[in-house]
C-alpha cells in the first residue's frame, strides 16, 4: 500500500521521505531489506528518497506491557504516527502519506 501511495504522490510532484519501524525480533532484517528495495523501485520515478529507520522494539514492548491488549494495535499505530510526525517536522514535510484506505484492517505485517 505504501509504495503505491508513494508512487502516486511522486506523480503529483511531491518529494518523498520514507519511514520504517524496525522491531527486531518481531520484524526481520529481510523486512528492512524489502523496504529499501521498494524505495529504490519508486525512486526510479521520483528521485532519491531518504529513509528513516526508527528502532521501535522498546516502544512496542512498553506498550504491550502497560496497555490493555485490545488497545495494543491502535496505541502502537498512534506512536508510529507521532514518530513519523516528528520526522516530518524535522524534514519540512508537509504531509504524512500512509497508503491506508478507509475500513482497511491493520495486519502489521
pLDDT tens-digit profile, the chain (109 residues): 788 899 899 999 999 999 999 999 999 999 999 999 999 999 998 999 999 999 999 999 999 999 999 999 999 999 999 999 999 999 999 999 988 877 666 665 4
Q: Give the integer Cα–Cα distance in Å for 93 and 1.
A: 20
What does pTM read for this prediction? 0.85
Neighbours of 12 (CB within 10 A): 6
Topology (CATH level 3) of domain 2-90: Rossmann fold (3.40.50)
The 10 Å CB-count burial string (b at 16+, else e) for 51-77 is bbebebeebbeebeeeeeeeeeeebbe
**Domain parsing of the chain, residue ranges:** 2-90
Amino acid at each position: 500500500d505504501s509504495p503505491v501511495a508513494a508512487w502516486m504522490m511522486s506523480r503529483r510532484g511531491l518529494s518523498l521521505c520514507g519511514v520504517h519501524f524496525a522491531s527486531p525480533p518481531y520484524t526481520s532484517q529481510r523486512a528492512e531489506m524489502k523496504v529499501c528495495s521498494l524505495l529504490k523501485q519508486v525512486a526510479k520515478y521520483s528521485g532519491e528518497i531518504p529513509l528513516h529507520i526508527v528502532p521501535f522494539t522498546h516502544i512496542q514492548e512498553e506498550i504491550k506491557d502497560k496497555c490493555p491488549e485490545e488497545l495494543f494495535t491502535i496505541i502502537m499505530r498512534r506512536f508510529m504516527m507521532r514518530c513519523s510526525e516528528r520526522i516530518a517536522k524535522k524534514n519540512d514535510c508537509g504531509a504524512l502519506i500512509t497508503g491506508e484506505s478507509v475500513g482497511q484492517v491493520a495486519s502489521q505485517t
